[in-house]
Amino acid sequence: MMDEFSFIEKIKPKIYHQNKLIKGIGDDAAIIRMEEIDTVVAVDTFVEGIHFTKETLTPWQIGYRLLAVNLSDLAAMGATPHFYLVSIVIPDELRDADVIEIFTGMKKLANEYKIDLIGGDTVSGKSLTITITIIGSVPKHKARLRSHARPGDVVFVTGTLGGASAGLDLLLKCISIDCSEHIKEKLIRKHQLPNPRVQFAIQLQEIERIALNDISDGLANELIEIAESSKVMIEIEDDAIPLSSGLHYFPRERIDYYKYFAGEDFELVGAASKTDFVKIKEIAEQLGIAITEIGFVSYNIERNGKVFIRKNGVIQPLQKKGYVHRRSREKK
């Protein structure tokens, strides 16, 4: 491993974008000054062998994807991102060039959203582990909480679902399907380079109330979180859920798993009033983002906190299976 000083010199931004920054990399801690806004902070960790392997992500993609996942958490709060910090555990066998590549992957997204790397920590250890802390802001009272859904709301999702997990299965070779290499490549890219809905979330700031979650652990899980925190019932139309293109080549039960439980697409799922949904659709359209109404929120003493799926005219409760499935796949 190159010495820590020259490493930090290499990853240190040449210019900072944010005027909220008082002191970036180079002292014992960074300093930011935030006024008249609500500060939003999130953290995520990637561990080699658990969240990625040499087969699934290149070093550049590791950096890109981890920062994308963090940005998605901020988008799900409706926040504008400003800063990030990176704590990295570097194993001896990792090449210096690969460590720099990880940071270069992050920098690609950082430049796109004009956010600044303002600090972190670097230590050596057994397995490559990277933790990103991200800092952003929302205007006062505009954070998009899970508890914000109300009876009568429209439930919607951005983009298409299932593609990222299908892509991961292709990468891990735990499934083989009969379709063109081009389609497979597109699904694999959805896993490797997720597209967080940062700009969309920022543009929504004019709207008074929206409940939002990003789909990291599967649509079922995210919807149940909204239904539970908002103490409402959610009903979803199975047919309405937009699937990533190429998914129809996969076996039927696999598609259902991708659609409801696999997650990792980092799209947004939300609930808003019918009137606000008209504005939300306009905003999505301006940004060229697909948005689909998939269901509605209602109030039912016996069913509040639960999510129901209507499929071929039959209504069934939706279970929170996402996490369990994912863990069992990771252990393989």
8 touches, from Mg ion, ligand ADP, none (C-beta below 5 to 8 Å by class): ligand ADP
Residue 88 interacts with ligand ADP (CB under 6 A): yes or no: yes
Contact partner, 26, from Mg ion, ligand ADP, none, Cβ < 5-8 Å per class: ligand ADP
Q: How far is the CB of 123 from ligand ADP (least distance, A)?
A: 9
Rounded CA gap, 162 and 256, in Å? 9
- Tell me how far apart the alpha carbons of residues 272 and 198 are, in angstroms, rounded to a whole number: 18
Task: Indicate the residue among 106 and 269 with the shorter CB distance to ligand ADP.
Answer: 106
Task: Identify which of residues 45 and 122 has a Cβ nearer to ligand ADP in the complex.
Answer: 122
Shortest Å distance, C-beta 14 to ligand ADP: 14
Contact 75, 268 (CB under 8 A): yes
Q: Is 121 in the site for Mg ion (CB under 5 A)?
A: yes
Residues 201-230 vs ligand ADP: string with x where CB under 6 A?
Answer: ------------------------------
Nearest distance from C-beta of residue 111 to ligand ADP, angstroms: 16
Residue 105 interacting with ligand ADP (CB under 6 A): no
- The encoded tokens of residue 262 equal 């696999």
Interacting residue with ligand ADP among 9, 96, 112, 121 (CB under 6 A)? 121
Radius of gyration of the chain (CA): 20
Binding of residue 86 to ligand ADP (CB under 6 A)? yes
92 binds ligand ADP (CB under 6 A): no
Residue 60 or 277: the one with the smaller Cβ distance to ligand ADP is 60
Q: How many residues bind Mg ion, per CB under 5 A?
A: 1
Distance CA 61, CA 102 (A): 7
Query: In terms of CB distance, is 24 or 218 closer to ligand ADP?
Result: 24
Question: DSSP string spanning 303-324?
Answer: TTT-EEEEETTEEEEPP--HHH
Which one among 63, 78, 119, 167 touches ligand ADP, defined by CB under 6 A?
A: 119
122-181: which residues touch ligand ADP (CB under 6 A)? 122
Is 25 an interacting residue with respect to ligand ADP (CB under 6 A)?
yes
Q: Could you tell which of Mg ion, ligand ADP, none binds residue 11, using a CB distance below 5 to 8 A set by kind?
A: ligand ADP
122 binds, among Mg ion, ligand ADP, none (CB under 5 to 8 A by kind): ligand ADP
Beta-ladder partners of 291: 158
Q: Which of 138, 136, 137, 155 is CA-nearest to residue 146?
A: 155
3-state SS class at 247 = helix
158 - beta bridge partners? 291
Looking at the Cβ atoms of 27 and 239, the one nearer to ligand ADP is 27
* 30 HSE (CA, 13 A, CB side): 23
Which residues of the chain form beta strands (DSSP E)? Answer: 21-23, 31-32, 37-47, 80-90, 116-124, 129-139, 154-158, 211-214, 233-237, 268-272, 291-298, 307-311, 314-317
- Output the smallest distance, CB 85 to Mg ion, in A: 11
85 DSSP β-pair partners: 119, 133
At residue 207, φ and ψ (nearest 5 deg) are -85, 140
Amino acid symbol at 151: P
Residue closer to ligand ADP (CB basis): 11 or 77: 11
Q: Collapsing DSSP states into helix, strand and coil, what is residue 169?
A: helix
Interaction between residue 120 and ligand ADP (CB under 6 A): yes
Which residues of the chain form contacts with ligand ADP (CB under 6 A)? 4, 8, 11, 25-28, 86, 88, 117, 119-122
Which residues are at the interface with Mg ion (CB under 5 A)?
121
